[in-house]
Structures are given as C-alpha cells and as structure tokens.
Amino acid sequence: MRDILTDYDRLAAAGPVGRAIVTSVWGSAPRPEGSSLVATADGRMAGSVSGGCVEGATVEAIGAAIQTGAPCFLTYAVTQERAWEMGLACGGTIKVFVEPRVRPDVLAAARSGAGSVVATVLEGAGPVGTSLVYQEDGSTKTSGALAAELAAAMTAGAKAALATLASRTATITGPNGAVEVFYEVYPRQPTLILFGGVHIAAELVRLAKPLGFRTVVADGREAFLTRERFPDADELILGWPEEAFSRVGIDAASCICLLSHDPKFDEPALDYALRSPAVYIGAIGSRKTQSMRRDRLRASGFTEADIARLHGPIGLDLGGRSPAEIALGILAEITAVRYGRVLPTRG
C-alpha cells in the first residue's frame, strides 16, 4: 500500500476508494502477499494484484464492495495453459481480500516511516475483520475486542513477520480454535548512507530512490558534496565519519556504503559502522585492499563475526564496469542481504 499512497490520495479526493490485497499465494504468481490494488466505484484504479486481466475482475469486485459495504474474498486458480490468458506469468493460485475502504490503521501504517504490522483476522474462530497493529517498539493497538490469548498470538506472529520484511498469512490458535490471520508488513523505511561523494554514489542515489530508500551522502571534502552532483539526495552532510553517522542515526534499517577511496575517511568510517546495528556494510576496494583491511580490523580487536559483516569488494559481481552498473551490483547485494539471501564470499 505504501507504494501507491499518492495514487490513493488522488483517487480518494473524488470519492470512496476500496482495496484488494493479496493474502495468499500458492505456486507461482507475479505479485507477492501484500500487493495492493485500490479502485473507485466507477473503475479508476492504481496498483496491482497480478499484473494482468485478473485486475479487471478485481476492480469490479471492489466496486461491488463499495456499494454493499461488505468485504469479500476472491480466489484465482490458473492452470499453466491458461496462465497468460488470465494475466499471470505462470500457473498458480492467489487469494485476494477485498474491502470497501482502506482502513485507517492501514493508511497510518503505510504513511509512517517506522516499522509496523497490521494483523487482521480473516477467517476462523475469531472476530473476523478485527485488526491488531504491532509497532517495532513492541506496542500494540487493536481495532476491536480480542481475547488476550488471541492478541498475544497475533502479536508474536506480527513480530516474526516484521523480522522477515514480508507480508504473509498464517494460521494461529486462539481460545476458540484455529484463526487465519493476515500480517501486512510495513518495514521501517531503509536509509542508504553513502560516505564518499564519488560518481558511484550519484548513481546509487538515483537507483535507490525507486526502491524506497532515504538517501544520505556524506563526505569530508566540500567540493565532492554539492547539490549539482546530488540533486536527488535526501540529505548531504559535510563532516568526518563519526560526525556524519551520529547525525544520521544508524539503526537496523540502515545500509552503509564506504566509497571515498581514502583511508583517512574509510577506515574510521568502517570502525564506526561495524559497531553499529546497520543491516548492511560495504566498502569499495580491490581484493588486496579488502585483505589488508580485514587484517587491520583483526589487529584492532574486531572479532571474526564483526569482520564477516563487511561486504567487500562491495556489491555483486555482475560483470559491469560503469558507475551505474557498479551501483546496480551494490543495490542488488543490499537487497539480498536485507531479505536474508545467502551470498557467495568474495573477500
């Protein structure tokens, strides 16, 4: 929902807007759980639940839900032979939950940059439609009455879902039996922190914006850090690494790239980064440079577990050599790390 908020606001300015969201996927499907489509009663739409003609039927269902005020489920089961005809990339089944409006708790979660999960009872022995919002600080808020046992189980499920950064449906046990709950995950907005205002940094800023990153470029060299060079960066910070990182505030959604090629900047920046909770730390440099860098870290007292957090040479080796191609490899590696993919060792 977060990626179509602007479209939602535009549509909502003219009247009621309903929503369809993918809650379950079996087999192959082009859109994962959590993919949303919003539409008006007269058929104007934004977003996608499949990428094909399934959208047409879904928009009609949203229009009907707006008229009746009642939610419903849609299930699209597609054989391999009919996949292209139905707008799916290949055979599979998707289950879609259709609502006559976008709920306030969903809108609040989507608009916030903080991490949260909207857990909604879909079916089973529980109050269907009731939701629990779990915040990354551990606090919760419910939209209706939930038994304490069910609320505790939903909270635990929401916490686990937030850790994976992916929406999903799960069956949990409540006081009266099995309950199907959809966990709609809104991760904390990731921050891409680039130390070194080099050409690759400019390409990283450009490519990272559509991926939802807040982008920060820092450097101790004023000539490298201008708005002409980085027109789209959210923030430019002139200063030494510790000063810059302290100002940004590094958290578990931060991704740090050290790009200056200057040891007097990169080495203290790396020491600071490895003591932070950043999810990704990468440093530019050759294999020889990386080997020497790791030796220095060991001599400085960093453990092997600390050093293993460093990705260097930075980025996946896609074979490209231009700044844009290198930036693409870096963002590919960051994406894989954020979603828990196992990567080959390059150091």
pLDDT digits (tens, 9 = 90+) for 134-162: 999 999 999 888 999 999 999 999 999 99
Specify whether 257 is located in the same domain as 309.
yes
Contacts of 250 (CB under 8 A, 6+ apart): 191, 193, 256, 273, 276, 277, 278
Given a cut of 80, is residue 222 above it in pLDDT?
Answer: yes
In a domain, 257, yes or no: yes
Instruction: Clarify whether residues 42 and 149 are in a common domain.
Output: no
Report, as an integer, the average pLDDT of 282-298: 94
pTM (predicted TM-score):
0.80
Question: In this structure, are residues 43 and 57 in contact, taking their beta carbons and an 8 Å threshold?
Answer: no
Identify whether residues 14 and 137 lie together within a single domain.
Answer: no
Q: Say whether both 42 and 164 belong to one domain.
A: no
Handedness of CA 270, 274, 276, 277 (dihedral sign): positive
Whether the Cβ atoms of residue 167 and residue 187 lie closer than 8 Å to each other: no
Domain of residue 180, residue span: 114-186
Distance CA 338, CA 276 (A): 16
| pLDDT per position as a tens digit, 15-64 | 999 999 999 988 766 688 999 999 999 999 999 998 666 889 999 999 99
Judge if 243 and 305 occupy the same domain.
yes
With a pLDDT cut of 70, the percent of the chain lying above it is 93
Q: Is residue 82 part of a domain?
A: yes
Confidence category of residue 343, pLDDT binned at 50, 70, 90: confident
Strands (E), the chain: 17-27, 36-40, 45-47, 72-78, 92-99, 116-124, 131-135, 140-142, 168-174, 177-186, 191-195, 214-219, 235-238, 254-258, 280-283, 310-311
Read off φ and ψ for residue 309, nearest 5 degrees.
Answer: -75, -20
Across 275-286, average pLDDT: 95
Output the pLDDT for position 84.
53
Q: pLDDT (tens digit, 9 = 90+) per residue, 228-245?
A: 999 999 999 999 999 999
Last residue of a domain, one of 122, 154, 186: 186
At residue 8, does pLDDT exceed 80? Answer: yes
Q: What is the mean pLDDT of the chain?
A: 91
Q: Does residue 167 form part of some domain?
A: yes
Q: Look at residue 344 and tell me if it is in a domain.
A: no
